[in-house]
Amino acid sequence: MRFSEATDTAVEREARRLKRSKGSIVEELAEEAVKARRFPGLAFRGVDAARRPWVVGSGLDVWEICHMLEDFGSVEGLVADSQLTPAQVRLAAAYREAFPEEIEEAITENRRTVDDLRELYPFVQDARG
């Protein structure tokens, strides 16, 4: 595959910065682009190892909306009690349906108990001291 000089230089710089191959950079960018085209209204953010989809205009990651949807039990309930639109909630739910493991992993990580977190990070104190 051949790129324009400008694109090749940009990919090369990114690969050097992240200490990864140019091929892995191009693959990741292509995967994100395909997902963004498949789910218009989604974008990706975060540092290299922790990039995640979010719903543009909501400020929320897809997993956050899906987590709230679980808690509310319905699109209508979530929309009534938030600033989300039905389209934003349906978009997040559709992404979750296509990539369930990705979203479940994020929700599970967020559900860790305080004791679990203390075990992982014994040096961190909560607000109670």
pLDDT recorded at residue 129: 58
Both 73 and 126 in one domain: the answer is yes
- Token duo for residue 74: 């319905």
Q: Percent of the chain scored above 70 by pLDDT?
A: 98
pLDDT recorded at residue 114: 83
Both 32 and 94 in one domain: the answer is no
Residue 104 to residue 70: CA distance in whole angstroms: 11
Q: Order of strands, edge to edge, in the sheet holding 52-55?
A: 42-45, 52-55, 60-61
pTM: 0.84
Q: Which domain holds residue 23?
A: 1-38
CB 96 within 8 A of CB 66: yes
Query: Is residue 24 scored above 80 in pLDDT?
Result: yes
Both 50 and 112 in one domain: the answer is yes
User: For the residues 63-90, what does the mean pLDDT come to?
Assistant: 97
pLDDT recorded at residue 40: 98
Query: Is residue 127 scored above 80 in pLDDT?
Result: no
- Token duo for residue 117: 């977190």
The burial class, CB within 10 Å (0-12 / 13-18 / 19+), for 78 is buried
Both 16 and 63 in one domain: the answer is no
